[in-house]
Structure 1
Amino acid sequence: MAKHYIILIFFLLLISSFCKSDDQLTRTKPLTDHDILISKDGDFALGFFSPDSSNKSFYLGIWYHSIPGARTVVWVANRDDPITTPSSAKLAITNGSQMILSSSEGRNIWATTSNIATGGAEAYAVLLNTGNFVLRLPNTTDIWQSFDHPTDTILPTMKFWMNYKAQVIMRLVAWKGPDDPSSGDFSCSGDPSSPGLQWLIWHGTMAYARGTTLNGVSVTSSPYLSNASSVLYVTGVNLGDEFYFMLTVSNGLPLARVTLDYTGVLGFTSWNNHSSSWSVISENPKAPCDLYASCGPFSYCDLTGTAPKCQCLDGFEPNDFNFSRGCRRTLELKCDKQSRFVTLPRMKVPDKFLHIKNRSFDECTAECTGNCSCIAYAYANAGAATDSSRCLVWTGDLVDTGKTVNYGDNLYLRLTVDKKSSAIKIVLPIVACLLLLTCIALVCFCKYRAGKRRKKEIEKKMMLEYFSTSNELEGRFWKSLQDVARKYELDWSTRFKVIKGIARGLLYLHQDSRLTIIHRDLKASNILLDKEMIPKISDFGMARIFDANQNQANTIRVVGTYGYMSPEYVIGGAFSTKSDTYSFGVLLLEIVSGLKISSPQLIPNFSSLITYAWRLWDDKKATELVDSSVVDSCKIHEVLRCIHVGLLCVQDRPDDRPLMSSVMFALENESAVLPAPKQPVYFSPFNYKVGEARENMENSANPMSITTLEGR
């Protein structure tokens, strides 16, 4: 028995003498066809391999060592210069700190580059646990790494540079076939014409498929798989003129990779231990209509249904039955007041755009509206240090557009307003002229009076439709927000529901009702809550209704409640929907903090809630504003977003305040990027007019409520 053990040990030692299985390559230990390097954790191996059973061509490469079945190669050194006689090949480190793959005849098959002039004798190479093959000096200075020279695969922790100093420096190149690692026809890289904004798959020199346009945010992260303690996600890092992607897999999750295969599909896959195969997480292109410009101009690939298909953009119709020539306008576009913009949500925006930097949303809109050749635009507020916005405009055909389910941009498309038929155009002027000739002054006067009465009736009806009567409101609602806040402690989820409910109500008043309604006295006591804490805006005694073509008005009699009224209203009597936005911002800060707009007895040096909120925000201490009764149980990201929105709503200038549609979008979409708030006027020293207005109000009989009613 002892003899058998001795023979077994001798056999194992004999095998180990032929096959090196450590993770390092040194100048005194070159790699031959019998050798293999294995990373310390055993996941990756480096050596010579043949991709098919013919064994006619051999390559130096890296593959997964820990998974069963067919070899999965992730990197190839000499992909376009195969070795025909493997026994003659050798990978060695030279005195010049280079790695050279050579044949016994002295021909260099492949080599690394190095800027190190001395110290080459001590250089060594190591296969890391990440699958990265690194040539380095003893002081751990990396001279060269395989991650900087990918072939067809991106591994976790590898930085794939889409853009560096406005140049495309990295490119994935697919294999020519399933058993042929030589450079194929398909490749993937950043778009050289739009550095840092999008990537493309190329078929030769022609665009084959395109990814979603990036919004330029400094750091983005898209999770794909997760469990209780681990997560797999893709991170994008924007450094201004530099942009890279990186795949990250935390401990406990399976192996993962991004690969461009020989058919032109860029796939994100992970290893499935149960099926012993690679499972697809996502891939691009996703469908035949997702190929570049396959739907033709002014059409898009609709990926929201079970069967992806080409569809025409709004206001367009197909040129033919199979969309090969795209779509055409149903009405000719004219650059006049008859044109308008429609919003198309969750779109993969078209290619061939013009990128305009440093623009606000309104400036981006004006950029396109004022240019007759501009047919569409898209906007994203990235919040990056070097460029706070991404404004894209289009002046030519819209190509390679798509629609997705969970992500994408709002695309604003210019269309022509539908006019009546030509017959009506002719008849209406004739009828109008006849009416004018036959009508007498008395009839005109009567119609004028009837019109005024009808307008009053419409206003009254609109009020009743949404708000009912005061008696009905008091009958259905147990208390106001002010009464409830005084008697009960509301948890954060209830407060957040109330905030969004008030915002939704204001949005109805400003935008969704047939005529625009300005409340002018929005405050806690005018918010009624039902038994399920659903808010309703009440007390419309001071409200004003705007016509369709009216967006602002002035009054010499200021009405409302001090503290909730906007500066332009207090000082000059000007009011608009942005006046209600200001009042909403004050109310939002009250709900978050549990404080009233003026509570000087509660906090030292506290002149107003706006002052206090701004100081905490500016000092990066915004969480101190949160009501102590909910601070331990609230969702901090929701609270901070509410404070951010509140400060934007109480900006000094009306143009700096968001519309309620933008407020609603920001509250319901955590991914929406918000602009930084400016220092509010009430935080700065009062000018004479503001001080005078405040003094007048404080000298009135009831300084907390200016109740003088104005006639309509």
Structure 2
Amino acid sequence: MLKAIVYHPNAQSTMLKSAANQDQGGSEGNNKVGVIVGSILASLFVVCLGICLFVRKKKKQRKRDATSHGRSRMEQIPENSFSISHQDEDLDLPHYDFTTLAKATNNFSFTNFLGEGGFGPVYKGVFNDGQEIAVKRLSKESRQGLDEFMNEVKCIAQLQHRNLVKLLGYCIQQDEKILIYEYMPKKSLDFYINDQKQSKLLDWPKRLHIINGIARGLLYLHQDSRLRIIHRDLKPSNILLDDEMNPKISDFGMARSFGGNETGANTKRVVGTYGYMSPEYAIDGLFSIKSDVFSFGVLVLEIVSGKRNRGFNHPGHQLNLLGHAWKLFKEGKPLELVDNLVVETCNLTEVMRSIHVGLLCVQHSPEDRPSMSTVVLMLSGEGTLPQPTEPGFFTGRKLIDASSSSSKPESCSVNEVTITLIEAR
């Protein structure tokens, strides 16, 4: 059965309008979705761009900080650490990349390890051109900081003398602080003192050569360098030896410089090594060129005897090495101080003079000690030597003066100092 279809004249128009309205609504919905998605993508792009720019800026800042760290700290070093103004400094010293030094030392391997001091470990290294170097790396546990590090860089970079170790460059990169020196194949004087096996390698001519070399190096520091330098930490481990056993003074982290006619100062921070510090410095913080003279005197007596001042033992008394030397000198038996390894082959006149000069240098009063210019002349055999007076820091727990009729222990220099005053190294 067929149904009749009724045609309405407005039906087609109505249908067209409905379809148009549907198309328009769908288009508007799509536009809204597109706007929302576009907004989200734009926001994400801005955030990502901001993050990228921030990370890039931080990387550049870290790189800039690493390269400029040394210079900025150099400007911040207090005047009492070193007295060279920033305007006058001209280091002319190369700065090495940490990667280069790691490669030269086989990544600071134990097989390249040479020793360790107050600054930190020292490693042997070899550059690509075959040059041997000594790389001194500041330890995180070291009591020395960036001030001492830059003090040494600024100090030794301006010094040139055959009896001073040569600084080849430095490295400051983030937390790493490294000094690069010429390599000393014979190690330090400390390697030979109080060691029966190694002491045999030092006959008397070599020992006298070392004494004279140290004296000339100190004379240069005190008198002939552009600025007067007081080392403040002269000891066997800071005397390095080259292939020909030429001594070279090293480690200037504690050094102080003076201009004009200044020869000393005082400090609340006593630094150095117990057994080599002068009495006025260890107790009152007063240091001068005569403080270095005292340390030199201790070195002379150690080189002659082959024994260390600290820890010295003798079956007949409880004196340290200075007290022992003074006792023998007063008794007219100074040659008993000489190391048995060289006593039969040494020049007696040279040995006697060296002991005499050593005792003059360790006298208690700094005014009584000779200058290094006088010491060099004395060691060369020129002139009559004055009689030394009592050394500083020479007593043990008991000391009976043979010339005294009293059985009471003699009142002598104190041999113990408050440890809080000293930064022992």
Kindly indicate whether residue 289 of structure 2 is the aligned counterpart of residue 577 of structure 1.
yes
- CA drift of 1:706 comes to 1.4
Q: Report the Cα distance in structure 2 between the residues aligned to 1:629 and 1:499, rounded to whole angstroms.
A: 17
Q: Could you give the per-residue CA deviations for residues 648-699 of structure 1, whole angstroms, max 9, x where no partner exists?
A: 000111110000000000111x2411100012243468999974x82522x8
- Structure 1 partner of 2:52: none
The one of 437, 457, 468 equivalent to 2:166 is 468
The one of 211, 217, 221 equivalent to 1:505 is 217
Q: Report the Cα distance in structure 1 between the residues aligned to 2:192 and 2:203, rounded to whole angstroms.
A: 12
- Structure 2 partner of 1:674: 385
Q: Could you give the per-residue CA deviations for residues 45-64 of structure 1, whole angstroms, max 9, x where no partner exists?
A: xxxxxxxxxxxxxxxxxxxx
Kindly indicate whether residue 241 of structure 2 is the aligned counterpart of residue 529 of structure 1.
yes
- CA drift of 1:604 comes to 3.2
Q: Report the Cα distance in structure 1 between the residues aligned to 2:315 and 2:373, rounded to whole angstroms.
A: 34
- CA drift of 1:558 comes to 0.5
Q: Is the 8 A contact 1:571 1:690 kept in 2?
A: no
Q: Report the Cα distance in structure 2 between the residues aligned to 1:660 and 1:623, rounded to whole angstroms.
A: 24
Kindly indicate whether residue 424 of structure 2 is the aligned counterpart of residue 706 of structure 1.
yes
Q: Could you give the per-residue CA deviations for residues 66-114 of structure 1, whole angstroms, max 9, x where no partner exists?
A: xxxxxxxxxxxxxxxxxxxxxxxxxxxxxxxxxxxxxxxxxxxxxxxxx
Q: Equivalences for 1:459-608 in 2 at 5 Å?
A: 463-464=156-157, 465-466=159-160, 467-469=165-167, 471-473=179-181, 475-485=183-193, 486=195, 487-489=198-200, 490-608=202-320
- Gap runs ≥5 in structure 1: 1-448, 708-712
Classify the secondary structure of the residue corresponding to 1:528. Answer: strand
- CA drift of 1:474 comes to 5.3
Q: Report the Cα distance in structure 1 between the residues aligned to 2:365 and 2:283, rounded to whole angstroms.
A: 13
Q: Report the Cα distance in structure 1 between the residues aligned to 2:342 and 2:192, rounded to whole angstroms.
A: 16
Q: Could you give the per-residue CA deviations for residues 301-320 of structure 1, whole angstroms, max 9, x where no partner exists?
A: xxxxxxxxxxxxxxxxxxxx
User: RCO (CA 8 Å, sep 6+): is it higher in 1 or 2?
Assistant: 2
Q: Is the 8 A contact 1:558 1:706 kept in 2?
A: no
Q: Report the Cα distance in structure 1 between the residues aligned to 2:184 and 2:393, rounded to whole angstroms.
A: 38
Amino acid across the alignment from 1:706:
A
Cα 1:640/1:660, change in 2 over 3 Å = same
Q: Equivalences for 1:387-398 in 2 at 5 Å?
A: none
Q: Is the 8 A contact 1:579 1:654 kept in 2?
A: yes
Classify the secondary structure of the residue corresponding to 1:682. Answer: coil
Q: Report the Cα distance in structure 2 between the residues aligned to 1:569 and 1:455, rounded to whole angstroms.
A: 30
Q: Equivalences for 1:266-285 in 2 at 5 Å?
A: none
- Structure 1 partner of 2:85: 452
The one of 399, 416, 422 equivalent to 1:694 is 416
Amino acid across the alignment from 2:86:
R
Q: Report the Cα distance in structure 2 between the residues aligned to 1:543 and 1:533, rounded to whole angstroms.
A: 24
- CA drift of 1:462 comes to 5.2
- Structure 2 partner of 1:423: none
Q: Report the Cα distance in structure 1 between the residues aligned to 2:89 and 2:321, rounded to whole angstroms.
A: 39
- CA drift of 1:547 comes to 1.3
Cα 1:626/1:532, change in 2 over 3 Å = same
Q: Equivalences for 1:13-412 in 2 at 5 Å?
A: none
- CA drift of 1:513 comes to 0.3
Q: Report the Cα distance in structure 2 between the residues aligned to 1:492 and 1:501, rounded to whole angstroms.
A: 14
- CA drift of 1:549 comes to 2.9
- CA drift of 1:469 comes to 2.3
- Structure 2 partner of 1:438: none
Cα 1:672/1:472, change in 2 over 3 Å = farther
Cα 1:475/1:614, change in 2 over 3 Å = same
- Structure 2 partner of 1:661: 373
Q: Report the Cα distance in structure 2 between the residues aligned to 1:636 and 1:609, rounded to whole angstroms.
A: 20
Q: Is the 8 A contact 1:522 1:580 kept in 2?
A: yes
Classify the secondary structure of the residue corresponding to 1:694. Answer: coil
Classify the secondary structure of the residue corresponding to 1:454. Answer: coil
Cα 1:600/1:500, change in 2 over 3 Å = closer
- Gap runs ≥5 in structure 2: 1-78, 92-150, 169-178, 400-408
Question: TM-score when scaled to structure 2?
Answer: 0.55
Amino acid across the alignment from 2:418:
N
Q: Report the Cα distance in structure 2 between the residues aligned to 1:666 and 1:690, rounded to whole angstroms.
A: 27
- CA drift of 1:637 comes to 0.5
Q: Report the Cα distance in structure 2 between the residues aligned to 1:455 and 1:653, rounded to whole angstroms.
A: 36
Cα 1:683/1:537, change in 2 over 3 Å = closer
Q: Report the Cα distance in structure 1 between the residues aligned to 2:340 and 2:272, rounded to whole angstroms.
A: 30
Classify the secondary structure of the residue corresponding to 2:317. Answer: coil
Q: Report the Cα distance in structure 2 between the residues aligned to 1:547 and 1:655, rounded to whole angstroms.
A: 21
Question: TM-score when scaled to structure 1?
Answer: 0.33
Amino acid across the alignment from 1:452:
S
- Supply the RMSD in Å over aligned alpha carbons: 2.8
Alignment: residue pair count = 252
Classify the secondary structure of the residue corresponding to 2:377. Answer: helix
- CA drift of 1:461 comes to 5.4
- CA drift of 1:483 comes to 1.0
Q: Report the Cα distance in structure 2 between the residues aligned to 1:688 and 1:548, rounded to whole angstroms.
A: 40
Cα 1:611/1:528, change in 2 over 3 Å = same
Q: Is the 8 A contact 2:187 2:242 kept in 1?
A: yes
Q: Report the Cα distance in structure 2 between the residues aligned to 1:551 and 1:659, rounded to whole angstroms.
A: 11
**Which of these two proteins has the greater Rg computed from alpha carbons?**
2
Q: Is the 8 A contact 2:230 2:292 kept in 1?
A: yes
Q: Could you give the per-residue CA deviations for residues 484-510 of structure 1, whole angstroms, max 9, x where no partner exists?
A: 343241100000000000000000100
Q: Report the Cα distance in structure 1 between the residues aligned to 2:368 and 2:286, rounded to whole angstroms.
A: 16
Q: Could you give the per-residue CA deviations for residues 536-556 of structure 1, whole angstroms, max 9, x where no partner exists?
A: 000111000111131110001
Q: Is the 8 A contact 2:232 2:272 kept in 1?
A: yes
Classify the secondary structure of the residue corresponding to 1:479. Answer: coil
Q: Could you give the per-residue CA deviations for residues 321-349 of structure 1, whole angstroms, max 9, x where no partner exists?
A: xxxxxxxxxxxxxxxxxxxxxxxxxxxxx
Cα 1:621/1:452, change in 2 over 3 Å = same
Q: Percent identity?
A: 49
Cα 1:461/1:600, change in 2 over 3 Å = closer
Classify the secondary structure of the residue corresponding to 2:248. Answer: strand
- Structure 1 partner of 2:119: none
Q: Is the 8 A contact 1:648 1:677 kept in 2?
A: yes
Q: Is the 8 A contact 2:309 2:321 kept in 1?
A: yes
- Structure 2 partner of 1:637: 349
Q: Is the 8 A contact 1:571 1:689 kept in 2?
A: no
Amino acid across the alignment from 1:483:
F
Amino acid across the alignment from 1:453:
H
Q: Is the 8 A contact 2:283 2:417 kept in 1?
A: no
Amino acid across the alignment from 1:678:
T
Q: Report the Cα distance in structure 2 between the residues aligned to 1:690 and 1:456, rounded to whole angstroms.
A: 42
